[in-house]
Amino acid sequence: MAKSCSVCSKGYQKGHKISHAHNVSLKRWYPNLQRVRVQQPNGGTKRQWVCTSCIQKGMITKRSA
């Protein structure tokens, strides 16, 4: 699976997971990616990994069924 959005290039963010006892370990947060059929400008379709924020903003044109 792709780890970044093909439209906005949003990828994972790194940080620390800190427990109540202040034990620190590394953590990654991944974007919510969906595999969507995207309408291309030349009339064709292509499947791409797109984050849900790009889908909600309307940055892609979904293929009509």
pLDDT at 63 over 80: no
Structural domains of the chain, with CATH:
1-65 (2.30.170.40)
What are the pLDDT digits (tens) for 27-56? 999 999 999 999 988 888 999 999 999 999
Alpha-carbon separation of residue 15 from 5, 33, 34, 63 (angstroms): 20, 20, 23, 37
Torsion of CA 6, 56, 40, 47, to 10 degrees: 50
Question: Which pTM value belongs to this model?
Answer: 0.76
pLDDT at 64 over 90: no
Q: Token pair for residue 6?
A: 């093909």
- Non-local (6+) Cβ contacts of 23 within 8 A are none
**Using CA atoms, how far apart are residues 18 and 14, in angstroms rounded to an integer?**
13
Proportion of the chain above pLDDT 90, given as a percent: 74
What mean pLDDT, rounded, does the chain reach? 91
Higher pLDDT, 19 or 62: 19
